[in-house]
Amino acid sequence: MPQVRRLVAELVAIRADLAELGHDLRGGVRSPLGGLPEAKAMEAHVAEILGWFDEQGIELKGIAPVLVDFPAVLDGVSVRLCWIEGETELGWYHRADLGFPGRRRLP
């Protein structure tokens, strides 16, 4: 979780910068965040972060908010340990076939 939390913090910061920079670029406004090259660099960094999750076998279900699933088995059932941006601990799960609506507290 420490590495996940670190990368999620980076992703959240880049997400905000990209939203602001993209808005400024579309509006033709000069941005303190840079221009198109900086936007492309941010997008590349996001792709690197997303790739890390994939390499670890961690399922990134969303980025606004960041929603992460860790494949696991609980009592012989395929589940996903579920963490969402802002939570302080990994304390939830859901059956693999139910997704977020089936979310329950870990026993």
Tens of each residue's pLDDT in the chain, 107 residues: 899 999 999 999 999 999 999 999 999 989 999 999 999 999 999 999 999 999 999 999 999 999 999 999 999 999 999 999 999 999 999 999 999 999 999 99
The parent domain of residue 77 ranges over 66-105
What's the CA gap between 103 and 38, in Å, rounded? 38
User: Is 92 buried (19+), middle (13-18) or exposed (0-12) by CB count in 10 A?
Assistant: middle
66 SS3 class: strand
Residue 48: what pLDDT? 97
Give the pTM. 0.86
Looking at 36, 56, 76, which one is the last position of a domain?
56
The amino acid present at 65, given as its one-letter code, is P
Question: How many distinct structural domains can be found in the chain?
Answer: 2
Residue 21: what pLDDT? 96
Looking at 15, 31, 56, which one is the last position of a domain?
56
